């Protein structure tokens, strides 16, 4: 099968250091006048030459976003099902090297978490697990989905990469969205950060979003964990990956996330510091290059910053977040990483209204109804 890997291998050979220096303000102005941007425009928008043009980029990004998505911002919340993990990723508290009591939710606990979340009004959920096929196999995820679909109208997964057949199984169970971050596109850095476990298999992870498209998920969300390698290059690869998927699977809604590295249990310090300005440049470049893609903003970012970023191209955000297993009902688990914006769903709702934006709690209905419910 042809995959993004071939394109990526070619893209990796670009002389980035020279390219970043070659772009000038003329290239930025030209790109901003275009309706459809090409690869060269994307590079220009991510280059240092675009730095002084953030305001112009923001104006255009906002216009495009409002005409395509209106004043609506979709809300969702993550639910951590299990923190068992067989991998050692150097940036994550769930890594197998850390010793803490691991946990996975029983169906009764899943139900209680669901009830707590649904009471806030949210109908979209993202379920997460660490990577352990033994502790949280596909059958466990399916069992959870059976419970969750009684409460939620859209269920997305953020779990270890699966085969196309397994994705189809989950789709039929009621899952409609897949989130899967490559974490790091740069292959050597990827190997260095993923020390042990199946996640070391770069190619298996890179091709997984495409397998999700083939399985028929309605939406597939990808991203690089910003801060692990040169952010300009990583953002470029992410956007190119998104465009590849969008062109190959036009029926699937491809979204992007720009998560920045956050504190966790260990002491790893990332090599590239992604400033707020850099984050804004990345979000704007994503929006201008992919005008119809969703862009998701997580609670990794502090409240003040989130309140500004909602005007720059964001279409989805998480609210009322806990990164602990069972964190919506009880306290005291180990968070995967620290969040920055701890506001409740109500607080986020109020903030959006104050900014003349509408929080959308429900934006889909799971259509794979169990036989008993179908009409």
Partner 1 sequence: MFDPLVIGDTVLSSRLFIGTGKYSRNTLIPEVIACSGSEVITVALRRVDPAGGTENIMNHIPEHMKLLPNTSGARTAEEAVRIARLARAAGLGNWVKIEVINDQKYLLPDNLETIRATEILAAEGFVVLPYMSPDLSVALRLRDVGAAAVMPLGSPIGTNRGLRTKELLRILIEEVNLPIIVDAGIGRPSEAAEAMEMGAAAVLLNTAIATARDPLGMAEAFREAVSAGRKAYLAGLGPVEESAAASSPLTGFLG
The footprint of ligand SF4 (CB under 6 A) covers 85, 87, 89, 92, 94-95, 130-131, 199
Tell me which of ligand SF4, partner 1, none is bound by residue 14, counting a contact when its beta carbon lies within the kind-specific cut-off of 5 to 8 angstroms.
none
Q: Using the minimum distance from each CB to ligand SF4, give the nearer residue, 123 or 211.
A: 211
Quick note: the x/- pattern for partner 1 over 344-373, rule CB under 8 A, is: ---------x--xxxxxxxxxx-x-x----
Sequence-distant (6+) residues with CB within 8 A of 103 are: 82, 83, 325, 326, 333
Comparison of 130 and 212: residue with beta carbon closer to ligand SF4: 130
Q: Is residue 70 a contact point for partner 1 (CB under 8 A)?
A: yes
Non-local CB neighbours of 321 within 8 Å, separated by 6+ positions: 77, 78, 298, 299, 339, 341, 342
What contacts 151, CB < 8 A, 6 or more positions away? Answer: 114, 115, 117, 118
C-beta of residue 174 within 8 angstroms of C-beta of residue 149:
yes
> Out of ligand SF4, partner 1, none, which partner does residue 17 contact, by CB within 5 to 8 A per kind?
none
Shortest CB 73 distance to ligand SF4, Å:
27
For the record, the structure tokens of 249 come out as 């699977």
- Looking at the Cβ atoms of 1 and 375, the one nearer to partner 1 is 375
Going by C-alpha positions, the residue among 227, 230, 355 that lies closest to residue 303 is 355
Q: Is 173 exposed, middle or buried (0-12, 13-18, 19+ CB in 10 A)?
A: buried
Binding partner of 94, given ligand SF4, partner 1, none, CB within 5-8 angstroms per partner class: ligand SF4
Interface segment toward partner 1; rule CB under 8 A; list 137-145, 205-213, 243-251, 309-317:
243-251
Choosing from 9, 71, 106, 201, the residue that interacts with partner 1 (CB under 8 A) is 71
Q: Which helix (H) or strand (E) covers residue 184, if one does?
A: none
> Is residue 121 a contact residue for partner 1 (CB under 8 A)?
yes
Instruction: Give Cα separations from 370 to 89, 150, 171 (angstroms).
Output: 38, 10, 12
At 278, list the tokens. Answer: 């850099």
Q: Pick from 79, 175, 252, 325: which binds partner 1 (CB under 8 A)?
A: 252
Closer of 193 and 309 to ligand SF4 (Cβ): 193
Closer Cβ to partner 1, 273 or 365, answer by number? 365
**Residue 136 region, left (φ>0) first, then alpha (ψ -120 to 50), else beta?**
beta
Q: By three-state DSSP, how is residue 143 classified?
A: helix
Tell me which residues touch partner 1 (CB under 8 A).
66-72, 121, 123, 153, 218, 246-247, 250-254, 292, 353, 356-365, 367, 369, 375
């Amino acid at each position: 099968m042809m995959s993004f890997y071939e394109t990526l291998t070619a893209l990796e050979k670009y002389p980035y250091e020279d390219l970043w220096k070659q772009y000038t303000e003329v290239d930025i102005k030209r790109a901003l006048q275009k309706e459809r941007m090409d690869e060269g425009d994307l590079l220009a928008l991510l280059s240092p030459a675009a730095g002084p043009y953030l305001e112009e980029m923001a104006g255009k990004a906002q216009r495009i976003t409002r005409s395509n998505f209106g004043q609506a911002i979709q809300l969702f919340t993550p639910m951590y099902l299990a923190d068992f993990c067989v991998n050692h990723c150097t940036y994550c508290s769930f890594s197998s090297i850390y010793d803490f009591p691991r946990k996975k939710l029983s169906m009764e606990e899943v139900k209680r978490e669901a009830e707590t979340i649904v009471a806030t009004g949210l109908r979209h959920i993202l379920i997460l697990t660490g990577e352990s096929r033994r502790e949280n196999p596909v059958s466990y995820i399916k069992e959870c989905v059976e419970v969750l679909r009684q409460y939620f109208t859209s269920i997305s997964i953020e779990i270890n990469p699966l085969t196309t057949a397994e994705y189809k199984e989950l789709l039929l169970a009621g899952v409609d969205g897949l989130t899967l971050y490559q974490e790091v596109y740069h292959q050597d850095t990827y190997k260095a950060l993923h020390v042990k476990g199946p996640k070391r298999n770069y190619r298996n992870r890179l091709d997984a979003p495409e397998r999700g498209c083939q399985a028929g998920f309605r939406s597939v969300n990808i991203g690089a964990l910003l801060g692990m390698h040169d952010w300009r290059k990583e953002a470029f690869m992410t956007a190119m990956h998104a465009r590849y998927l969008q062109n190959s699977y036009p029926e699937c809604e491809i979204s992007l996330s720009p998560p920045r590295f956050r504190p966790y249990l260990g002491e790893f310090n990332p090599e590239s510091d992604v400033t707020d300005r850099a984050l804004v440049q990345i979000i704007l470049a994503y929006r201008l290059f992919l005008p119809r893609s969703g862009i998701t903003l997580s609670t990794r970012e502090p409240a003040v910053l989130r309140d500004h970023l909602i005007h720059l191209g964001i279409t989805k955000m998480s609210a009322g977040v806990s990164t602990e297993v069972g964190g919506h009902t009880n306290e005291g688990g180990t968070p995967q990483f620290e969040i920055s914006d701890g506001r409740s769903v109500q607080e986020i709702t109020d903030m959006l209204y104050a900014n003349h934006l509408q929080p959308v709690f429900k934006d889909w209905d799971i259509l794979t109804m169990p036989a008993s419910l179908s009409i």
